[in-house]
A = this chain, B = another copy of it.
Amino acid sequence: MNNPGKASLPVIKRLPKYYRYLRTLKNDGITSISSRELAAQMGTTASQVRQDFNCIGDVNGRQGIGYSVENLLSILEHLLFGNGDLLPTILIGCGRLGKAVSRFITTDTNGYKLIAAFDNSPSEVGKEINGIQILHVDELEAFCAEHKPEVAVFCVPRSGAEELSGRLVELGIKGFWNFSHYDLSVPYPEVVVENVHLGDSLMSLGYRLRNQD
């Protein structure tokens, strides 16, 4: 296939894991790896590894040698992080969860740059979160017009999520890291949404513990 723009969601969701493994291999001084070895380490199959790599670019393994770790890493780095440009990101909702998860951006970047944080609680507005002053949500329109953020880390209660997400889409937000229980992608199919539904995740775990053979 070899068209990263058309890769399916399950393939895209596996790419960060490949990236993490390959980084470990590189740090350990390993320069090449077969699809079989990689699959064994990742708990998948060699055939899936080959299919996944086939989607993302010119990643030919060589018979008897395997894939070049360096080459795979450089392709994945480009796909996941672009040319090193960081996606301008705002945090919406500075409660305990918002504060905790935004550290995945402020500490590790992961390809993003946190440029502002918003809350509607008087007890939070004006405080700092990792060096960024928390603004009132009423300032969203003015801020977005000037700074053009592209991504929102969305950590608000369900009650406010519908109205706020609509405003954010209007203001040009293209991607949501969505921790709210509001299913954004139904009303806004054009935006990219990565849902992290922690309550759902706990319920799935419970199901498997209680019912699976």
Question: Bound complex: CA of A80 vs CA of B201, how far in Å?
Answer: 11
The stretch that binds B, out of A66-74, A99-107, A117-125, A132-140, is A99-107
Q: Mark A72-85, 1 if CB is under 8 A from B, else 0.
A: 00000001111000
Q: Mark A175-213, 1 if CB is under 8 A from B, else 0.
A: 101000101011000001010111111111111111111
Question: Bound complex: CA of A194 vs CA of B7, how far in Å?
Answer: 24
Contact A12-B100, Cβ < 8 Å, known A5-B211, A174-B209, A186-B41: no
Q: Which of B15, B110, B151, B199 contacts A209 (CB 8 A)?
A: B151
Contact A202-B103, Cβ < 8 Å, known A79-B211, A186-B41, A212-B5: no
Residues of B near A103 (CB, < 8 A) are 96-97
Contact A96-B100, Cβ < 8 Å, known A186-B41, A204-B15, A213-B6: yes
Question: Bound complex: CA of A136 vs CA of B194, how far in Å?
Answer: 35
Between A100, A199, A210, the greatest number of chain B beta carbons within 10 A of the residue's beta carbon is seen for: A210
Contact A200-B20, Cβ < 8 Å, known A87-B206, A212-B5: yes
Which 3 A-B pairs rank lowest in CB-CB distance, beginning with the nearest? Answer: A16-B200, A100-B100, A16-B203
Residues of A near any B CB (own CB < 8 A): 4-7, 12-13, 15-17, 19-20, 41-43, 79-82, 87, 96-97, 99-101, 103-105, 108, 110-112, 150-151, 174-175, 177, 181, 183, 185-186, 192, 194, 196-213
